Amino acid sequence: MRRLVAETRLHPADLVLPLFVKEGLTEPAPLASMPGQVQHTEESLVEAVRAARDAGLGGVMLFGIPTVKDANGSQADAADGILQRALRASRKVLDEVPEGTATPVLMADTCLDEFTDHGHCGVLTADGRVDNDATLTRYASMAVAQAKAGADVISPSGMMDGQVAMIRDALDDADFLDTSILAYSAKYASAYYGPFREAVDSELKGDRKTYQMDFANAREGLREADLDLAEGADIVLVKPAGSYLDVLRAVADRSDVPVAAYQVSGEYAMIEAAGANGWIDRDRAVLESVTSIKRAGADVILTYWALELAEWIK
Protein backbone atom coordinates (compact mmCIF):
# COMPACT_ATOMS: atom_id res chain seq x y z
CA MET A 1 0.00 0.00 0.00
CA ARG A 2 2.80 2.40 0.87
CA ARG A 3 4.40 1.76 -2.48
CA LEU A 4 1.14 2.15 -4.36
CA VAL A 5 0.36 5.53 -2.84
CA ALA A 6 3.86 6.97 -2.68
CA GLU A 7 3.74 10.53 -4.02
CA THR A 8 7.40 10.63 -5.00
CA ARG A 9 9.40 7.99 -6.78
CA LEU A 10 13.03 8.18 -7.81
CA HIS A 11 14.14 6.89 -11.18
CA PRO A 12 17.75 6.39 -12.34
CA ALA A 13 17.11 8.90 -15.14
CA ASP A 14 16.50 11.62 -12.50
CA LEU A 15 20.05 11.28 -11.29
CA VAL A 16 23.27 12.93 -12.43
CA LEU A 17 26.66 11.69 -11.23
CA PRO A 18 29.38 14.32 -10.67
CA LEU A 19 32.84 13.01 -11.62
CA PHE A 20 36.32 14.44 -11.09
CA VAL A 21 39.15 13.78 -13.54
CA LYS A 22 42.69 14.87 -12.75
CA GLU A 23 45.44 15.34 -15.29
CA GLY A 24 48.57 13.27 -14.80
CA LEU A 25 47.17 10.78 -12.30
CA THR A 26 48.30 7.20 -12.81
CA GLU A 27 45.79 5.69 -10.40
CA PRO A 28 42.45 6.91 -9.06
CA ALA A 29 43.03 8.97 -5.90
CA PRO A 30 40.48 8.37 -3.11
CA LEU A 31 39.08 11.50 -1.46
CA ALA A 32 39.45 11.32 2.32
CA SER A 33 36.52 13.64 2.98
CA MET A 34 34.27 11.88 0.48
CA PRO A 35 34.54 8.18 1.22
CA GLY A 36 33.78 6.14 -1.89
CA GLN A 37 34.57 9.02 -4.29
CA VAL A 38 37.82 9.52 -6.18
CA GLN A 39 39.72 11.80 -8.47
CA HIS A 40 39.76 9.76 -11.66
CA THR A 41 42.51 9.11 -14.13
CA GLU A 42 41.46 9.58 -17.74
CA GLU A 43 41.09 5.81 -18.01
CA SER A 44 39.09 5.28 -14.83
CA LEU A 45 36.84 8.21 -15.74
CA VAL A 46 35.84 6.42 -18.91
CA GLU A 47 34.98 3.34 -16.86
CA ALA A 48 32.82 5.44 -14.53
CA VAL A 49 31.00 7.00 -17.48
CA ARG A 50 30.41 3.53 -18.88
CA ALA A 51 28.99 2.43 -15.52
CA ALA A 52 26.72 5.49 -15.45
CA ARG A 53 25.56 4.63 -18.94
CA ASP A 54 24.83 1.02 -18.07
CA ALA A 55 23.01 2.05 -14.88
CA GLY A 56 20.65 4.26 -16.92
CA LEU A 57 21.57 7.52 -15.19
CA GLY A 58 20.19 10.77 -16.53
CA GLY A 59 23.58 12.40 -16.81
CA VAL A 60 27.18 12.78 -15.77
CA MET A 61 28.74 16.09 -14.73
CA LEU A 62 32.47 16.35 -15.39
CA PHE A 63 34.96 18.45 -13.42
CA GLY A 64 38.56 18.68 -14.64
CA ILE A 65 41.68 19.35 -12.58
CA PRO A 66 44.71 20.48 -14.62
CA THR A 67 48.37 20.05 -13.63
CA VAL A 68 49.09 23.69 -14.42
CA LYS A 69 46.92 26.41 -12.90
CA ASP A 70 47.38 30.10 -13.68
CA ALA A 71 45.67 33.45 -13.11
CA ASN A 72 43.45 33.18 -16.21
CA GLY A 73 42.70 29.49 -15.93
CA SER A 74 44.23 28.94 -19.38
CA GLN A 75 43.63 25.21 -19.35
CA ALA A 76 39.88 25.71 -18.99
CA ASP A 77 39.34 26.38 -22.69
CA ALA A 78 42.44 24.71 -24.16
CA ALA A 79 41.41 22.19 -26.82
CA ASP A 80 43.74 19.62 -25.26
CA GLY A 81 42.93 20.64 -21.65
CA ILE A 82 42.02 17.84 -19.26
CA LEU A 83 38.30 18.61 -19.26
CA GLN A 84 38.06 18.68 -23.05
CA ARG A 85 40.02 15.41 -23.31
CA ALA A 86 37.72 13.81 -20.76
CA LEU A 87 34.63 15.06 -22.59
CA ARG A 88 35.86 13.61 -25.88
CA ALA A 89 36.59 10.24 -24.27
CA SER A 90 33.20 10.25 -22.51
CA ARG A 91 31.39 11.19 -25.71
CA LYS A 92 32.88 8.13 -27.34
CA VAL A 93 31.76 5.75 -24.60
CA LEU A 94 28.28 7.25 -24.49
CA ASP A 95 27.92 6.96 -28.24
CA GLU A 96 29.01 3.34 -28.50
CA VAL A 97 25.51 1.99 -28.00
CA PRO A 98 22.96 0.77 -30.54
CA GLU A 99 21.14 3.55 -32.39
CA GLY A 100 18.12 4.72 -30.39
CA THR A 101 19.44 3.70 -26.95
CA ALA A 102 18.97 6.44 -24.35
CA THR A 103 22.26 7.45 -22.71
CA PRO A 104 23.23 9.85 -19.93
CA VAL A 105 23.49 13.48 -20.96
CA LEU A 106 27.10 14.68 -20.97
CA MET A 107 27.43 17.78 -18.80
CA ALA A 108 30.51 19.92 -18.27
CA ASP A 109 31.23 22.21 -15.34
CA THR A 110 31.81 25.64 -16.82
CA CYS A 111 33.77 27.50 -14.18
CA LEU A 112 37.33 28.68 -13.68
CA ASP A 113 37.97 27.74 -10.05
CA GLU A 114 39.51 24.36 -10.85
CA PHE A 115 41.83 26.07 -13.33
CA THR A 116 42.99 29.24 -11.57
CA ASP A 117 46.00 29.48 -9.26
CA HIS A 118 44.01 31.78 -6.94
CA GLY A 119 41.03 29.40 -6.88
CA HIS A 120 38.35 31.96 -7.69
CA CYS A 121 35.57 31.22 -10.16
CA GLY A 122 36.60 34.17 -12.30
CA VAL A 123 39.60 36.22 -13.34
CA LEU A 124 40.75 39.01 -11.05
CA THR A 125 41.21 42.76 -11.43
CA ALA A 126 44.57 44.34 -10.63
CA ASP A 127 43.41 44.94 -7.06
CA GLY A 128 42.36 41.33 -6.58
CA ARG A 129 38.59 41.49 -7.00
CA VAL A 130 36.71 39.04 -9.19
CA ASP A 131 36.14 40.78 -12.52
CA ASN A 132 32.60 39.82 -13.54
CA ASP A 133 32.65 40.99 -17.15
CA ALA A 134 36.15 39.81 -18.00
CA THR A 135 35.13 36.43 -16.61
CA LEU A 136 32.14 36.24 -18.97
CA THR A 137 34.49 36.25 -21.95
CA ARG A 138 36.43 33.36 -20.44
CA TYR A 139 33.20 31.40 -19.82
CA ALA A 140 32.06 31.95 -23.42
CA SER A 141 35.31 30.53 -24.71
CA MET A 142 35.13 27.64 -22.28
CA ALA A 143 31.57 26.83 -23.31
CA VAL A 144 32.50 26.63 -26.98
CA ALA A 145 35.55 24.46 -26.20
CA GLN A 146 33.32 22.11 -24.18
CA ALA A 147 30.67 21.93 -26.89
CA LYS A 148 33.35 21.18 -29.48
CA ALA A 149 34.60 18.38 -27.24
CA GLY A 150 31.14 16.80 -27.18
CA ALA A 151 29.33 18.23 -24.15
CA ASP A 152 25.54 18.21 -24.45
CA VAL A 153 25.11 20.61 -21.56
CA ILE A 154 27.18 23.63 -20.51
CA SER A 155 26.91 24.27 -16.78
CA PRO A 156 27.99 27.73 -15.63
CA SER A 157 28.50 27.37 -11.87
CA GLY A 158 30.43 30.57 -11.16
CA MET A 159 27.50 32.92 -10.36
CA MET A 160 28.74 35.73 -12.62
CA ASP A 161 25.99 38.14 -13.67
CA GLY A 162 25.06 37.68 -17.32
CA GLN A 163 26.79 34.32 -17.72
CA VAL A 164 23.82 32.55 -19.29
CA ALA A 165 23.15 35.18 -21.97
CA MET A 166 26.85 35.44 -22.80
CA ILE A 167 27.22 31.67 -23.17
CA ARG A 168 24.02 31.33 -25.21
CA ASP A 169 25.29 33.93 -27.69
CA ALA A 170 28.69 32.27 -27.94
CA LEU A 171 27.18 28.83 -28.51
CA ASP A 172 24.78 30.15 -31.14
CA ASP A 173 27.57 32.05 -32.93
CA ALA A 174 29.62 28.85 -33.05
CA ASP A 175 26.61 26.96 -34.41
CA PHE A 176 25.99 24.90 -31.28
CA LEU A 177 22.29 25.63 -31.41
CA ASP A 178 21.30 22.39 -29.69
CA THR A 179 23.76 22.61 -26.82
CA SER A 180 21.85 23.30 -23.61
CA ILE A 181 22.65 25.44 -20.60
CA LEU A 182 22.17 24.25 -17.04
CA ALA A 183 22.41 27.42 -14.98
CA TYR A 184 23.54 27.33 -11.39
CA SER A 185 21.02 30.02 -10.54
CA ALA A 186 20.58 30.02 -6.78
CA LYS A 187 24.02 29.05 -5.55
CA TYR A 188 24.79 29.90 -1.97
CA ALA A 189 28.17 30.62 -0.37
CA SER A 190 28.10 27.43 1.67
CA ALA A 191 30.15 25.56 4.23
CA TYR A 192 28.84 22.39 2.62
CA TYR A 193 31.30 22.75 -0.28
CA GLY A 194 34.19 21.91 2.06
CA PRO A 195 35.03 18.42 0.77
CA PHE A 196 34.75 19.56 -2.87
CA ARG A 197 37.70 21.87 -2.34
CA GLU A 198 39.81 18.75 -1.68
CA ALA A 199 38.26 17.03 -4.69
CA VAL A 200 39.44 19.74 -7.08
CA ASP A 201 42.72 20.62 -5.28
CA SER A 202 41.32 24.12 -4.78
CA GLU A 203 43.79 26.95 -4.22
CA LEU A 204 41.14 29.24 -2.76
CA LYS A 205 42.00 31.51 0.13
CA GLY A 206 39.17 33.59 1.48
CA ASP A 207 35.64 33.07 0.29
CA ARG A 208 33.24 33.54 -2.61
CA LYS A 209 30.89 35.95 -0.89
CA THR A 210 31.17 38.61 -3.59
CA TYR A 211 29.48 36.30 -6.10
CA GLN A 212 27.72 33.47 -4.24
CA MET A 213 24.59 34.22 -2.24
CA ASP A 214 23.98 34.73 1.45
CA PHE A 215 22.30 31.70 3.01
CA ALA A 216 19.91 34.06 4.75
CA ASN A 217 18.23 34.99 1.49
CA ALA A 218 15.43 33.16 -0.31
CA ARG A 219 13.88 35.97 -2.34
CA GLU A 220 17.25 36.75 -3.85
CA GLY A 221 17.52 33.16 -5.02
CA LEU A 222 14.24 33.50 -6.90
CA ARG A 223 15.44 36.70 -8.50
CA GLU A 224 18.63 34.98 -9.66
CA ALA A 225 16.56 32.16 -11.16
CA ASP A 226 14.26 34.64 -12.93
CA LEU A 227 17.27 36.40 -14.46
CA ASP A 228 18.72 33.12 -15.73
CA LEU A 229 15.36 32.09 -17.18
CA ALA A 230 15.12 35.43 -18.99
CA GLU A 231 18.65 34.93 -20.34
CA GLY A 232 17.72 31.56 -21.83
CA ALA A 233 18.63 28.91 -19.26
CA ASP A 234 17.34 25.46 -20.21
CA ILE A 235 17.56 24.10 -16.67
CA VAL A 236 17.89 26.14 -13.46
CA LEU A 237 19.70 24.73 -10.45
CA VAL A 238 19.60 25.28 -6.70
CA LYS A 239 22.67 24.46 -4.63
CA PRO A 240 23.25 23.07 -2.03
CA ALA A 241 20.04 21.03 -1.90
CA GLY A 242 19.23 19.71 1.58
CA SER A 243 19.39 22.99 3.48
CA TYR A 244 17.64 24.89 0.68
CA LEU A 245 14.50 22.84 0.06
CA ASP A 246 12.36 25.95 0.56
CA VAL A 247 14.23 27.79 -2.18
CA LEU A 248 14.02 24.71 -4.38
CA ARG A 249 10.25 24.47 -3.92
CA ALA A 250 9.78 28.15 -4.68
CA VAL A 251 11.95 27.99 -7.80
CA ALA A 252 10.10 24.88 -8.98
CA ASP A 253 6.75 26.63 -8.51
CA ARG A 254 7.66 29.51 -10.81
CA SER A 255 10.03 27.94 -13.32
CA ASP A 256 8.74 26.92 -16.72
CA VAL A 257 11.91 24.93 -17.43
CA PRO A 258 13.18 21.83 -15.58
CA VAL A 259 14.69 22.41 -12.16
CA ALA A 260 17.82 20.74 -10.82
CA ALA A 261 19.32 20.52 -7.35
CA TYR A 262 22.88 19.65 -6.35
CA GLN A 263 23.32 17.52 -3.24
CA VAL A 264 26.83 18.72 -2.55
CA SER A 265 29.99 17.22 -1.13
CA GLY A 266 29.32 18.25 2.48
CA GLU A 267 25.83 16.72 2.41
CA TYR A 268 27.41 13.51 1.17
CA ALA A 269 30.23 13.62 3.72
CA MET A 270 27.91 14.14 6.69
CA ILE A 271 25.77 11.13 5.96
CA GLU A 272 28.79 8.98 5.14
CA ALA A 273 30.55 10.00 8.37
CA ALA A 274 27.53 9.51 10.61
CA GLY A 275 26.79 6.22 8.90
CA ALA A 276 30.36 5.00 9.34
CA ASN A 277 30.11 5.78 13.05
CA GLY A 278 26.89 3.82 13.36
CA TRP A 279 25.03 6.98 14.38
CA ILE A 280 22.50 6.79 11.60
CA ASP A 281 21.38 4.14 9.16
CA ARG A 282 23.40 5.25 6.15
CA ASP A 283 21.38 3.62 3.39
CA ARG A 284 18.06 4.85 4.71
CA ALA A 285 19.44 8.35 5.16
CA VAL A 286 20.76 8.35 1.59
CA LEU A 287 17.37 7.38 0.17
CA GLU A 288 15.49 9.79 2.42
CA SER A 289 17.75 12.73 1.61
CA VAL A 290 17.55 12.26 -2.16
CA THR A 291 13.80 11.51 -2.19
CA SER A 292 13.22 14.69 -0.17
CA ILE A 293 15.05 16.72 -2.80
CA LYS A 294 12.73 15.33 -5.46
CA ARG A 295 9.68 15.88 -3.25
CA ALA A 296 10.69 19.54 -2.88
CA GLY A 297 10.51 19.98 -6.65
CA ALA A 298 13.74 18.87 -8.32
CA ASP A 299 13.33 17.17 -11.69
CA VAL A 300 17.06 16.50 -11.88
CA ILE A 301 19.28 15.64 -8.92
CA LEU A 302 23.05 15.79 -8.89
CA THR A 303 24.26 13.38 -6.23
CA TYR A 304 27.47 11.47 -5.55
CA TRP A 305 25.28 8.47 -4.69
CA ALA A 306 23.75 8.36 -8.19
CA LEU A 307 25.31 5.05 -9.21
CA GLU A 308 24.60 3.27 -5.96
CA LEU A 309 21.05 4.63 -5.76
CA ALA A 310 20.29 3.64 -9.34
CA GLU A 311 21.06 0.06 -8.34
CA TRP A 312 18.58 0.22 -5.42
CA ILE A 313 15.70 1.86 -7.23
CA LYS A 314 15.84 0.35 -10.69
Catalytic residue positions? Answer: 187, 239
**Minimum distance, C-beta of residue 110 to ligand PBG, in the bound complex (Å):** 8
Least distance to ligand PBG, CB of residue 7, Å:
28
Q: Rounded CA gap, 35 and 270, in Å?
A: 10
Residue 123: CB atoms within 10 A of its CB come to 20
- Tell me the C-alpha distance between 240 and 23, whole Å: 27
Q: Are 14 and 301 in contact (CB under 8 A)?
A: yes
For the bound state, the minimum distance from the C-beta of residue 208 to ligand PBG, rounded and expressed in Å, comes to 6
79 and 148 Cβ atoms separated by less than 8 Å:
yes
Please say which residue, 264 or 310, places its beta carbon nearer to ligand PBG: 264
Q: Compute the least distance from the CB of residue 155 to ligand PBG, in Å.
A: 9
Q: Which is nearer to ligand PBG, 176 or 193 (CB)?
A: 193
Closest CB to ligand PBG among residues 77, 109: 109
Q: What is the DSSP letter of 247?
A: H
Residue nearest to ligand PBG (CB): 196
The Cα–Cα gap between 258 and 238 comes to: 11
Amino acid identity for residue 104 in this structure = P
CA–CA distance, 38 with 63 (Å, rounded to integer): 12
Cα 155 to Cα 109: distance, rounded to the nearest angstrom: 5
Contacting residues toward ligand PBG, per CB under 6 A: 109, 111, 113, 121, 157, 193, 196, 208, 264-265
Please, what is the minimum distance in Å from the beta carbon of residue 197 to ligand PBG?
A: 7
Q: Sort 74 into a burial class: Cβ within 10 Å, 0-12 / 13-18 / 19+.
A: middle
Please identify, using beta-carbon distances, which residue of 21 and 93 lies nearer to ligand PBG: 21
Which parts of the chain are beta strand (E)? 15-22, 29-30, 38-40, 59-65, 105-110, 153-156, 180-187, 235-239, 259-262, 300-302
Of the pair 28, 242, the CB lying nearest ligand PBG is at 242
**Nearest distance from residue 4's CB to ligand PBG, in Å?**
35
Residue number with CB closer to ligand PBG (93 or 261): 261
Query: What is the end-to-end Cα distance of the chain in Å, rounded?
Result: 19
